[in-house]
Amino acid sequence: MTRPPYTLTPAIVSLVAEIAEAVGRLSLSSGDNLRLRRVNRIRTIRGSLAIEGSTLSEEQITAILEGRPVVAPPREIQEVRNALAAYEHLGEWQPGREADLLEAHGMLMAGLLDGAGRYRAGGVGVMQGEQVIHMAPPPKRAPALMAGLLSWLETCEEHPLIASSVFHYEFEFIHPFADGNGRLGRLWKTLILSRWRSVVADLAVESLVHAHQAGYYRAIAESMAGTDSAPFIAFMLERILEACRAGAPQVTPEVTPQVERLLAVLDRPMGRDALMRALGLKDAKHFRRHYLLPAMSAGLVEMTQPDHPRSPTQQYRRTTAGQWLVDEHGKMT
């Protein structure tokens, strides 16, 4: 395959430098924090599946991981089990091997798709909700296009941060499988980056992609319209940098008692009114000034709809750093 069309803009080059520095700090300081790795893996799986429409919470995914019963649609439980198995196999696969890619798809889609582990035989499109934003190439072209893309990945000399984003975009453009392309593309991006720095595999990038889902599809659409994946590359690098900043427990800031109380009650996504009730507060201005804004400024709480901050259905949840703080220090009061 010839070099895919992409432009290395000054913003992209700057992001690569920032991420490389942040990852270097993480590699030196993170150690073997199994609890943080577990939290991030759960958030990664939840984010990646939520993009595909899964409704399961982090708590339900944790229960599935631990073998506890969960009341949920059987298909969604199967999706989680498959994803948990696939992420556990990351260390066994090589990014440029087609056989490994097919095996990973078979594992992700086992029990969900008759053609799991095989390229599609029919036409498919990239969907944003009910809207088709891209019709993939004809199925007969998919094997050759994938062979070319994997060959490029094996021989390219780009920084892995660039190569992983380019591969991710081109993979979604080809859409080689009947279903599961999104989750496999995100898994393979993680695999490529983990071969560069293993600590990257433990960052909850997918939960941030889900939090910016509208931007994710907008970046795909802009890249396709311009026949240049630079918008998608920039979007993914921004999320990776955001995950690096959130994934460093050593930089967790000191928090006020009010923020501690907020983190303690925020055990699931909640709206402003629900949070105020849980905290026993009635003054919205006081809540915003002394609880919500300090928690968000510290990177401990985030919006579920960051692209629509004034949405009436807006909710808030712990970030990776906020979850880590709660896990490390126990239940806050």
264 and 221: one domain?
A: no
CA dihedral of residues 21, 24, 25, 29 (deg, nearest 10): 170
DSSP string of 125-155? Answer: EEEETTEEEEEPPPGGGHHHHHHHHHHHHHH
Could you give the 3-state DSSP secondary structure of residue 317?
strand
276 and 243: one domain?
A: no
Total count of domains within the chain: 2
DSSP string of 229-258? Answer: -HHHHHHHHHHHHHHHHHT-GGGPPP--HH
Cα 294 to Cα 14, 184, 185, 211, 212: the distances in Å are 28, 36, 35, 20, 21
- Given a contact cutoff of 8 angstroms between Cβ atoms, the answer to whether 128 and 110 are in contact is no
Whose tokens are 């939840």? That residue is 46
207 and 258: one domain?
A: no
42 and 137: one domain?
A: yes
End residue of a domain, out of 188, 219, 249 = 249
2 in any annotated domain: no
The token pair that represents 312 in the structure block: 């009436």
Q: How far apart are CA 26 and CA 38, in angstroms?
A: 16
Per-residue pLDDT 10s for the chain (333 aa) are: 588 999 999 999 999 999 999 888 877 665 556 666 788 888 889 989 998 889 998 889 999 999 999 999 999 999 999 999 999 999 899 999 999 999 999 999 999 999 999 999 999 877 776 777 778 999 999 999 999 999 999 999 999 999 999 999 999 999 999 999 999 999 999 999 999 988 888 788 988 888 898 898 899 989 999 999 999 999 999 999 998 887 654 434 567 899 999 999 999 999 999 999 999 999 999 999 999 988 887 778 889 888 788 899 999 998 867 877 787 665 444
Whose tokens are 């975009």? That residue is 169
| pLDDT of 226 | 93
Q: How far apart are CA 217 and CA 198, in angstroms?
A: 27
4 in any annotated domain: no
Whose tokens are 């999104």? That residue is 182
Q: How far apart are CA 301 and CA 265, in angstroms?
A: 12
167 in any annotated domain: yes
Pick from 19, 49, 42: which is nearest to 210 by CA?
49
150 and 296: one domain?
A: no
Q: How far apart are CA 106 and CA 241, in angstroms?
A: 30
Residue 289's domain comprises 252-329
CATH number at residue 113: 1.10.3290.10
125 and 186: one domain?
A: yes
Q: Is 73 left (phi over 0), alpha (psi -120 to 50) or beta?
A: beta
CATH number at residue 262: 1.10.10.10
Long-range CB pairs of 214-221 (<8 Å, 24+ gap) are 214/307, 214/308, 215/307, 216/51, 217/128, 217/133, 220/126, 220/133, 220/134, 220/169, 220/172, 221/128, 221/133, 221/134
Residues sharing a CB contact under 8 Å with residue 242, sequence separation 6 or more, in sequence order: 208
Locate all alpha helices (DSSP H) within 176-305, ordered by sequence: 181-196, 205-211, 213-226, 230-246, 257-265, 272-279, 284-287, 293-297
Instruction: List 17's β-bridge partners, or say none.
Output: none
